[in-house]
Amino acid sequence: MWFKNLYIFAFTRPFTQTEEELETALQEHVFAPCGKTELARFGWASAIGKHGNRLLHHANGCYLLSARKEEKILPASVVKEALEEKVEQLEQEHSRKATKKEKEQFKEDITFALLPRAFSRISDTQGYICPEKNIIVVNTSSRGKAEDFLALLRKCLGSLPVTSFVPDAGAETTMTSWLLEQTLPERFTIGFEGELKAMGDDGAVLRCKNQDLLSDEILAHLGEKGEKQVVKIAFDWDQTLSCVLADDLSVKRVKFHDSVYEQNEDIPNDDMMVKIDADFTLMTGEVNRFIEDMLAQFELATNSYLED
């Protein structure tokens, strides 16, 4: 329920689906376990896990969704060993090299034979839609998983007009100025972790942990005399949460302060639906507030639609 990572996408057109319409659309791609010979399955699961069956949870004007993926685990070394045995057997029996097509067929047959005995790995990716703020927020540290989440939703809805937030000047330029000019507002406090990178694909990278980012030692790498720019930076926001912000505006390792959790401590744990509603309302409220404030530092807004 409490998101630990944030990939933020903006709607380019108003999101107009009602709760009932969205729930019906999600039913078209409900998660089902892999069959014996299937490598993977991907679909929508209960939005609130074991506490409910609905694919959608609605509170605070936001829709919570959960995409589930099952993947069969076939160690590459096992497949490789079996393939080498098949190829060796063919070459000994026919006194010739196996063709590329034969090797591909062997590999396909081996995979098909091993799949019923393979272990499964199941992972859930949660996200929420906030029509009022024009955003979708996906709880993952992986850009690929965020894109998979959006692709599944797009299958259900037919189209999904969303885009990433991209600052005109480049996020790394703004984040570098935060250190050089110390221009962040009072709600932001620079943390003790960051990553600096020189221009170019092969540019030098400096990763800092437990380091004062405003020290002369770090600032010497930036600005006119330095060659690097900030591509990741840790900070604390409004005595509410801490996180690490990357130059693609993804937010990693979100940790809410105890004072936030304490706001719902008086709700009995045995009244689970009330607790879930309260936590989701509190979490989305604080995350939306943070996103709006964070994007404002890049002169971006969540309350206006972007161009396609």
- Whole-number Å distance between alpha carbons of 15 and 136: 10
pLDDT of residue 227: 86
What sections of 100-142 are H helices per DSSP? 100-114
Single-letter residue type at 262? E
- Asked if 251 and 243 touch (Cβ cutoff 8 Å), the reply is yes
pLDDT tens for the chain, 308 residues: list them: 799 999 999 999 999 999 999 999 999 999 999 988 888 999 999 999 988 889 999 999 999 999 999 998 888 888 888 888 888 888 888 888 989 998 899 888 888 888 888 888 999 999 999 999 999 999 999 999 999 999 999 999 999 999 999 888 889 999 999 999 987 878 999 999 999 999 887 889 999 999 999 999 999 999 766 689 999 999 999 999 999 999 999 999 999 999 999 999 999 878 889 999 999 999 999 999 999 999 999 988 877 555 44
Domain map (residue ranges) of the chain? 7-73+118-164, 76-116, 171-296
Q: What is the pTM of this model?
A: 0.88
